[in-house]
């Protein structure tokens, strides 16, 4: 879209958001080749009529030089003549009038300009006059204002809507996902506790505590929660496949939680893998693929969240010294265990010259996916046999205290900070993190009381 048309849309955004009926525009913009059906479906999912109108105007700015004329044509076809007249009032005529030469005033009233022959002369009135806009006067021509951007007379609160009663701060530049379906979506929890002898992996004592916390938490966030325990590798893949084949069209989100031993694997998207109780692992990259837009069409454009409580490798982080004002008493006990798979290869393999360039060169941009890891790739994740894992305990507490007012990414940053303050055996540290490919803010539903939803 031409810059002048973008400026017109931006200058009139308040009126467009207030008066535009997006549903009247979809067929016309589709038939004129301005939008695709996928783009229209995405706009429809953006929320209220005002949200859809705001997204439609924003998307129009990216659709080339034909977008603005097509909008005008569609508005007139639907009888919305006031909006085209408003937008075209900012368009120059076929023979634009010459702009007068502006004289910079020093400490004097703003001048009124008059055109005499070919010389532009500023004429100052005898009394101080301070007009709101400088208006050039042309002989035998209608008076027209200078084509300068005007300041909207409406406050941002009027344009963007009143702040929500929940106290959230509206950020118009970043939209929020639709999260008001009931139930909001499906949540699959795979909890591997008892490992078979041939796996050479210890049982994960304390993981049932994590599982119970997360089951209650996501039920309180209006999810249908399904818990599966002690699955082999093949069974993990079967459950993920079954989840991808569900009809999510009436849902707004999907959550997968993996509680198991983990390890480091080669990857070109998401690092790490989780083990079945029989020993073989399922890469996190494969776990996310089950729910991507190609394999699960009913989740296209909807957030898909993965929470991984497992080790990312076998390396233990002893941390680094900090200044006294950053230090605080360590948290952790003698019952802390790791979720690491014994390995002969070093966790540094992710940063070797042969791996790192390939991983970066082939990194795609999957949309609407967030993978939250309990620990940094290559490092162990700590679990207390009596209280559960550091990560899950902190995640549960943060969701309980902040889900009503904060978006998910902000809350995960809180989790990162809190877990980073812990110490295992007074020595070892842990740093959670996430791979975030969400396109919008995500606010969970918070039910007034916990009422379990049966899977």
Active site residues: 261, 311
> What is the distance, to the nearest Å, from the Cα of residue 13 to the centroid of all Cα atoms in its chain?
23
| 81 in Cβ contact with 22 (< 8 Å) | no
- Three-state secondary-structure class, residue 285: helix
Task: Kindly tell me the burial class for residue 203, based on how many C-beta atoms sit within 10 Å of its own C-beta (0-12, 13-18, 19 or more).
Answer: middle
> What is the distance, to the nearest Å, from the Cα of residue 235 to the centroid of all Cα atoms in its chain?
31
In sequence order, which ranges of 221-283 are alpha helices (DSSP H)?
233-244
Which of 13-33 are b and which e, b meaning 16 or more Cβ less than 10 Å from the residue's Cβ?
Answer: bbbbbeebebeebbebbeeee
- Quote the CA–CA distance of 373 and 298 in Å, as a whole number: 25
Expressed in angstroms, the distance from the first to the final Cα of the chain is: 48
Reference 288, options 435, 178, 442, 440; nearest CA is: 435
- Quote the CA–CA distance of 26 and 5 in Å, as a whole number: 20
| Tokens, residue 189 | 């929890």
- Quote the CA–CA distance of 311 and 383 in Å, as a whole number: 10
Phi then psi for 312, rounded to 5 degrees? -100, 0
């Amino acid at each position: 879209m031409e810059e002048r048309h973008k400026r017109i849309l931006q200058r009139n955004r308040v009126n467009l958001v207030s008066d535009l009926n997006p549903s009247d525009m979809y067929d016309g913009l589709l038939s004129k080749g301005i939008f695709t059906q996928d783009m229209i479906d995405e706009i429809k999912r953006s929320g209220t009529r005002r949200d859809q109108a705001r997204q439609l105007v924003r998307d129009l700015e990216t659709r080339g030089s034909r977008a603005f004329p097509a909008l005008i044509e569609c508005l007139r076809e639907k009888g919305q003549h006031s909006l085209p007249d408003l937008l075209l009032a900012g368009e120059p005529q076929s023979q634009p009038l010459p702009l007068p030469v502006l004289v910079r005033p020093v400490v004097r009233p703003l001048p009124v300009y008059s055109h005499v022959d070919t010389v532009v002369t500023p004429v100052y009135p005898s009394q101080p006059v301070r007009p709101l806009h400088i208006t050039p006067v042309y002989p035998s021509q209608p008076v027209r204002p200078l084509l300068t951007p005007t300041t909207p007379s409406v406050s941002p609160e009027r344009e963007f809507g009143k702040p929500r009663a929940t106290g959230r701060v509206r950020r118009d530049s970043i939209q929020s996902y639709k999260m008001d379906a009931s139930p909001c979506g499906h949540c699959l929890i795979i909890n591997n506790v008892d490992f078979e002898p041939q796996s050479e992996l210890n049982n994960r004592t304390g993981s049932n505590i994590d599982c119970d916390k997360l089951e209650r938490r996501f039920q309180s966030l209006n999810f249908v929660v399904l818990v599966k325990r002690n699955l082999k590798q093949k069974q993990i893949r079967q459950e993920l496949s079954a989840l991808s084949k569900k009809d999510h069209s009436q849902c707004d989100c999907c959550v997968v939680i993996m509680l198991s031993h983990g390890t480091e694997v080669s990857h070109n998207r998401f690092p790490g893998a989780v083990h079945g109780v029989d020993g073989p692992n399922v890469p996190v990259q494969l776990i996310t693929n089950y729910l991507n837009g190609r394999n699960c069409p009913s989740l296209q454009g909807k957030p898909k969240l993965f929470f991984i409580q497992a080790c990312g490798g076998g390396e233990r982080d002893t941390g680094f010294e900090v200044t006294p004002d950053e230090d605080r008493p360590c948290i952790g006990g003698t019952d802390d265990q790791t979720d690491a798979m014994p390995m002969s290869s070093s966790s540094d393999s992710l940063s070797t010259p042969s791996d790192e360039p390939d991983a970066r060169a082939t990194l795609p941009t999957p949309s609407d996916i967030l993978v939250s890891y309990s620990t940094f790739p290559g490092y162990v994740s700590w679990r207390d046999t009596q209280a559960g894992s550091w990560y899950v305990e902190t995640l549960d507490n943060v969701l309980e205290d902040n889900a009503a007012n904060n978006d998910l990414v902000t809350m995960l940053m809180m989790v990162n900070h809190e877990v980073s303050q812990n110490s295992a055996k007074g020595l070892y540290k842990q740093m959670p993190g996430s791979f975030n490919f969400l396109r919008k803010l995500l606010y969970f539903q918070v039910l007034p009381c916990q009422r379990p939803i049966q899977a």
